Amino acid sequence: MSMKENTNQTMQKAPVEAIPERMSGNEAVAYAIRQVNPDVMPAFPITPSTEIPQMVSTYIANGEMDTEFIPVESEHSSMSATIGAEAAGARSMTATSSAGLALMWEELLLAASNRLPLVMTLVNRTLSGPININCDHSDGMGARDTGWIQIYAENNQEAYDNFIQAYPIAENKEVHLPVMICQDGFITSHAIENIELLEDDKVKAFVGEYEPEEYLLNPGKPIAVGPYSVSNYAMEAKKNQEIAMENAKEVIIEVAKRYKELTGRGFELFEEYRTEDADYIMLIIGSAAGTAKQAVDELREEGKKAGVLKLRVFRPFPAEEIAMALKNCKAVAIMDRCESYNGNGGPLGCEVTSALFLNKVMIETVNYIYGLAGRDFTVGDVKEVFGELEKMIVEGKEIPQHQYIRLR
């Protein structure tokens, strides 16, 4: 959807009155958690997500929500307890970052394969080593094949909005998969921005009550969760899990549409910014999309036809939709904030080029690695990337693939 269409649709129906506020990304997510008021939240602190369970526990202590908060001894235990609570029939969630997510690894796969619609808020931080607490996407992208839906935010507002949409997506009968709501560590999690909040009753009505059909504590209807599966059944279970991920795409779009009707805000699988007539497009994810948009605005003033495709939903991966959105441009810069260590490119670089090829969209692409462990990424860097794309097309210059930006 173009920005123009987005604006026109917003004008057709006045959204509910917003509550203006200034919050960090962590504060915004914690506020959304208070409004949703899940049944159970196990958590273990880790920078830069520590503030989220800290704030939620304060809300609980002050009597502003009645979630059962469970302090645990590790992130592995945190996800284990979240799985147990969700399997018992409780709407459950947790929060983590970086090595905390890595310590949950086995449990991530269990949550998805057991089809448990729990939610985790992930504040993205680089994985060791070397040890570093700053932002990149190596934690979330490292978990890309564990079976979780992954939704990324550009700013604090989107972190808030995405969390409110998480349970309606996860709990949909056609999906029943866990959802990871991601935001960039420190860049959004600790920075203060203007934000528009919804009233509590509007959030509760949008999210609704959780009414599971099957759960462990359902008297007279015993079930098994996570039993051993012999070869005659395991493959069918995995296929059903994949079908659920495919179904999630339409559910995400439908939930985004309802949320936009409520608030006037919201994007679907991705946002297209000034791409309608763009010769060169930067595909990017997370907070750096704002930097790219500013650079595009300045390039447009210089007569350069540049645009940004900001990917919001990484799982399920919108391969066909991305290919169709890019098919009319001349070249694409695919930006990865983590390394895959495959000798060929980052996760987005590999998946986007595959999507283009399979959908027979034959345009030039260059994969860039940027912002690892908090390395700066500036408007000037974006302009240089667009300049390279133009030289590749206009002058026929050969541009190296899989190159690092700002590497010393």
Each residue's pLDDT expressed in tens, for the chain with a length of 408 residues: 444 444 444 344 557 889 999 999 999 999 999 999 999 999 999 999 999 999 999 999 999 999 999 999 999 999 999 999 999 999 999 999 999 999 999 999 999 999 999 999 999 999 998 999 999 999 999 999 999 999 999 999 999 999 999 999 999 999 999 999 999 999 999 999 999 999 999 999 999 999 999 999 998 899 999 999 999 999 999 999 999 999 999 999 999 999 999 999 988 999 999 999 999 999 999 999 999 999 999 999 999 999 999 999 999 999 999 999 999 999 999 999 999 999 999 999 999 999 999 999 999 999 999 999 999 999 999 999 999 999 999 999 999 999 999 999
How far is CA 39 from its chain centroid?
23
The pTM for the full model equals 0.95
Which long-range contacts link 376-380 to residues 24+ away (Cβ below 8 Å)? 376/406, 377/288, 377/291, 377/405, 377/406, 378/291, 379/291, 379/294, 379/295, 379/298, 380/295
Residues of the chain with CATH 3.40.50.920: 270-404
Q: Collapse the DSSP code of 253 into the 3-class scheme (helix H, G, I; strand E, B; otherwise coil) and give the result.
A: helix
pLDDT at 220: 87
Residues of the chain with CATH 3.40.50.970: 3-212+231-263
CATH architecture of 270-404: 3-Layer(aba) Sandwich (3.40)
Sheet arrangement for strand 119-124 = 93-96, 119-124, 179-184, 149-152, 313-315
**Which residues are registered as beta bridge partners of 308?**
273, 282
d(CA 211, CA 214): 9
**Which residues are registered as beta bridge partners of 42?**
70
d(CA 39, CA 84): 12
Of 157, 203, 185, 179, which is closest to residue 33 (Cα–Cα)?
A: 203
d(CA 32, CA 359): 38
C-beta neighbour count of 108 within 10 angstroms: 21
d(CA 288, CA 321): 21
Q: What is the DSSP track for 340-385?
A: --SSS--HHHHHHHHHHHHTT---EEEEEE--GGG----HHHHHHH
What does R_g of the chain's alpha carbons equal in angstroms? 21
d(CA 282, CA 285): 10
pLDDT at 17: 85
Class of domain 3-212+231-263: alpha beta
d(CA 152, CA 154): 7
d(CA 360, CA 324): 10
pLDDT at 7: 41
Using DSSP bridges, classify how beta strands 119-124 and 179-184 pair: parallel, antiparallel or unpaired. Answer: parallel
